[in-house]
Structure 1
Amino acid sequence: MPPLPSPTEPSPTTAVAPPVVRAAVADDLPTVAAILEPYVTGTAVTFDEQAPDVAAWRQRLVDLDARGLPFLVAEVDRAVVGYAYASPWRPKAAYRYTVEDTIYLAPAAQGRGVGSLLMTALLEACSRAGVRQVVAVVADDPAAAGSLPLHRRFGFEVAGVLRDVGVKHGRTVSTTLLQLTLA
């Protein structure tokens, strides 16, 4: 994937196309798996301890599609550089209008506005799907530094902190819960 131009730099003569957000398809899943893998192995951003394989991603895509929930990718020059999806918050029926959002970016896409594009599209898709509440769970890890500001820019409010709820890479990790009510 070519490097993305900085938002403050003029575009080079070999301009990089602006990011495009679209529905994920099965062919995207190897790249989706590759984007998440370093977060699983090197950070506590996700509490996954094993990176999901492509088969697990395929099942997630099928499940979310069956529920009418969005699974999106962002691509630049036809290369997937990030993804976002909304999954059920809890399994009990009373939670059916509440989802948890998930957004991950490849390192080259960070700080380039791709997360904002994905969040915009994700929230619009959630609204169309009848979602009323979106919850974000952000781990207390340096690799998640951009997640809280991103969510706050979109109107998410802190709903609470769960202290020391995860143990990963030999340390306890807290999470901040954020919530957004959709119109």
Structure 2
Amino acid sequence: MSDSAIRSATPADIPAITEIYAEAVRHGTATFELEPPDAGEMRRRFEALQAGNFPYLAGTVDGRIVGYAYAGPYRPRPAYRFTVENSVYLLPASHRRGIGLALLNELITQCAARGYRQMIAVIGDSANVASIGVHARAGFDMIGTHPNVGFKFGRWLDTVMMQRALGAGGRTTPE
């Protein structure tokens, strides 16, 4: 039986994270980037999220990183400061093993503990039923679809928007 764990990502994880993301960029529609960023750029992105005190997680199986997840600002304007956007990426061989859901659930827990009130998922490609399903299982509601907003692999792609309240959500004034 495999031993899986979710933990905070570290700078030493950047090469594995870069590899996972490059696979998603080259072969998938979960991200609309067209060229995979190099490890230096991935480190810069990681450090920016860490400096902003956003959670960045690694999912491991038998000590090997097979996925990662992070939250970041939803939008830069101050009124959005209590809302985060999530991202979850897995190696293809790790799909449908519960790792994505475990990463997302831990991300939800950590964001709620940091005082965030809403989490937004911007899911690339309305055909990405696995990601839509994982988000639904984690308590996200469908809030809309932006049809034909991305063009990748010679076709138009939608983005699916899902949202989940964190903690008290919008029921109380944030502190």
Q: 2:17 aligns with which of 23, 32, 36?
A: 32
1:50 aligns with: 35
Deviations 1:135-165 (A, max 9, x none): 00112265x3310010001110011111111
* In structure 2, C-alpha distance between the alignment counterparts of 1:178 and 1:29, rounded to whole Å: 28
1:64 aligns with: 49
What's the C-alpha RMSD, in Å, of the aligned pairs? 1.2
Unmatched 5+ residue regions in structure 1? 1-14
* TM, length-normalised to structure 2: 0.91
2:96 aligns with: 111
* In structure 1, C-alpha distance between the alignment counterparts of 2:134 and 2:121, rounded to whole Å: 11
Deviations 1:46-105 (A, max 9, x none): 111111211111111211111111000011111001000001111111111111100011
* In structure 2, C-alpha distance between the alignment counterparts of 1:111 and 1:151, rounded to whole Å: 13
* TM, length-normalised to structure 1: 0.87
Q: Is the 8 A contact 1:81 1:106 kept in 2?
A: yes
* In structure 2, C-alpha distance between the alignment counterparts of 1:126 and 1:49, rounded to whole Å: 29
* In structure 1, C-alpha distance between the alignment counterparts of 2:38 and 2:116, rounded to whole Å: 28
Secondary structure of the structure 2 residue equivalent to 1:94: helix
2:6 aligns with: 21
2:139 aligns with: 155
Q: Stretches of 4+ moved more than 3 A in 1?
A: none
Secondary structure of the structure 1 residue equivalent to 2:71: strand
Q: Is the 8 A contact 2:74 2:83 kept in 1?
A: yes
Deviations 1:103-127 (A, max 9, x none): 0111221111111110111001111
* In structure 2, C-alpha distance between the alignment counterparts of 1:145 and 1:34, rounded to whole Å: 23
1:10 aligns with: none
Percent identical across equivalent pairs? 38
Q: Is the 8 A contact 1:44 1:141 kept in 2?
A: no
**Mapped pair 1:165 → 2:149:** yes
Secondary structure of the structure 1 residue equivalent to 2:121: strand
Instruction: Count the aligned residue pairs.
Output: 167
Q: Is the 8 A contact 2:126 2:160 kept in 1?
A: no
Q: Is the 8 A contact 1:133 1:181 kept in 2?
A: yes
1:146 aligns with: 130
Unmatched 5+ residue regions in structure 2? 168-175
